[in-house]
Amino acid sequence: MNRKNNEITDKLIELEKGALDRWGRGDPSGCLEISAPDITYFDPFIERRINGLSELTRYYESLRGKIRVDRYDLIDPKVELVGNVAILTFNYVSCGGTETSRWNCTEVYRLFGKDWKIIQTHWSISQPRLAKA
Q: What is the C-alpha separation between 129 and 58, in angstroms, rounded?
A: 35
pLDDT of 2 over the 90 cut: no
At 70 the three-state DSSP class reads coil
* pLDDT at res. 128: 66
* pLDDT at res. 4: 80
pLDDT of 130 over the 60 cut: no
pLDDT digits (tens, 9 = 90+) for 7-50: 999 999 999 999 999 999 999 999 999 999 999 999 999 999 99
